[in-house]
Chain A
């Protein structure tokens, strides 16, 4: 059901049966390492190429999610999945192994919450019973597509982010569980004219601010209604900018905000301003946040995944970086 200007309220009850997270080696060593269901020991993730490595991540995450949910694969109505690579190859290649319908989505690093919002809406419409929302990113595939060869000795500035290697999946259903997907706010494409692809935090902060403000307006809520407001990958550069923009609009998120890209790694892991990529928000939301909701440490969380909708060609043509942010509300449920 449409709620306000840009939001959906899932009034028929949409639940997450279970989730799965799979990470690379560096993420395993980070503070949230123990929250992942599986971690590969090498960056190659048992693949011959980097692209295969990312497929292995996503495939492992979707398979594990189905396994943990205890739902037979033929009961799955739909997969909603996306990633960062051209033509969403990771998602589409992994979906070959499934016999359900596939909706492929792209929202850059916001794909995690975009896919979850769409899956939630399709469940809420009562046309489907089980939908799998999934996403992935890999350091090396993103480097080679968006930046330089991984062995190239270019110097990155401190504003750069490091793509998170990992994949996350969530099985969404109308069947009740402990985690409810309460609603979603779908972002607008916002472009404040930032042009530096090695500083995506600054570029994405206005989009995150826009979505958070719209969300609070649409649902007529306050910051205090949430135990945690998470952004996907604003980094240590974009995070203070987001807080400042919101503060100017009379919204203070200081006490409840955290950024997924800043939670995944330790300070000394050479990741510049923080983690980024679809897997940044997916690993934190589908791992740590779900576990905290289940244990009752958190009751209601707004996850705002942020995406920079650029590609190298547009950057070389001196265009600016349009950005988007999608928010999804996860809530602890007593329905079961």
Chain B
């Protein structure tokens, strides 16, 4: 139990360090880093590697944005098994729906309620 937290901390922190190195050494913009991470997550999941990382690190692997790419592919693959090639498009947002929907909803509510502080 305690070790779950320790590994979540170490793995999650390490993924962020990779992001920081991309920002500082390769001078990428945050948008480029995020895009790269999502693509990496999908590619790693293509080789079924990301699931192993999640088993090992728990939230350390599901909280970083790389997991978004992994979830997109997982959704696509689960539908593909049922509906064939068409299923890829049907299922792509299946698992990420909650994340995207809540980000839109909460973003909207925050914009309505708050005033930019500057």
Q: Please say whether chains A and B are actual partners in one complex.
A: yes
On A, residues with C-beta under 8 Å from B are 43-44, 50, 139-140, 143, 149-151, 154-155
Is the beta-carbon distance between B118 and A50 smaller than 8 angstroms?
A: yes
Is the beta-carbon distance between A140 and B116 smaller than 8 angstroms?
A: yes
18 contacts between A and B (CB under 8 A): A43-B117, A43-B118, A44-B118, A50-B116, A50-B118, A139-B118, A140-B116, A140-B118, A143-B118, A149-B116, A150-B116, A150-B117, A150-B118, A151-B116, A151-B117, A154-B30, A155-B23, A155-B30
On B, residues with C-beta under 8 Å from A are 23, 30, 116-118
Chain A interface secondary structure, helix, strand, loop or mixed?
Answer: loop
Who on chain A is nearest to B29 by CB? A154
**Which residues from chain B contact A143 at a C-beta distance below 8 Å?**
118
Who on chain A is nearest to B27 by CB? A196
In the A-B complex, list the 6 residue pairs whose CB atoms are closest, starting with the nearest.
A140-B118, A43-B118, A150-B118, A154-B30, A150-B116, A151-B116
**Which residues from chain A contact B23 at a C-beta distance below 8 Å?**
155
Least distance between A147 CB and chain B CB atoms (Å)? 11
**Which residues from chain B contact A43 at a C-beta distance below 8 Å?**
117-118
Chain A CB count within 10 A is highest, among B30, B116, B117, B118, for B118
**Which residues from chain A contact B30 at a C-beta distance below 8 Å?**
154-155
Least distance between B30 CB and chain A CB atoms (Å)? 5
Least distance between B22 CB and chain A CB atoms (Å)? 12
Q: How far is the CA of A207 from the CA of B65 in the complex (A)?
A: 42
Who on chain B is nearest to A196 by CB? B27
Least distance between B8 CB and chain A CB atoms (Å)? 21
Q: How far is the CA of A50 from the CA of B115 in the complex (A)?
A: 11
Least distance between A318 CB and chain B CB atoms (Å)? 12
Q: How far is the CA of A155 from the CA of B116 in the complex (A)?
A: 18
Q: How far is the CA of A143 from the CA of B117 in the complex (A)?
A: 12
Who on chain A is nearest to B110 by CB? A151
Chain A CB count within 10 A is highest, among B30, B116, B117, for B116
Who on chain A is nearest to B20 by CB? A155
Q: How far is the CA of A44 from the CA of B23 in the complex (A)?
A: 32
Who on chain A is nearest to B116 by CB? A150
Least distance between B108 CB and chain A CB atoms (Å)? 14
Q: How far is the CA of A44 from the CA of B115 in the complex (A)?
A: 10
Least distance between A139 CB and chain B CB atoms (Å)? 6
Q: How far is the CA of A140 from the CA of B23 in the complex (A)?
A: 24
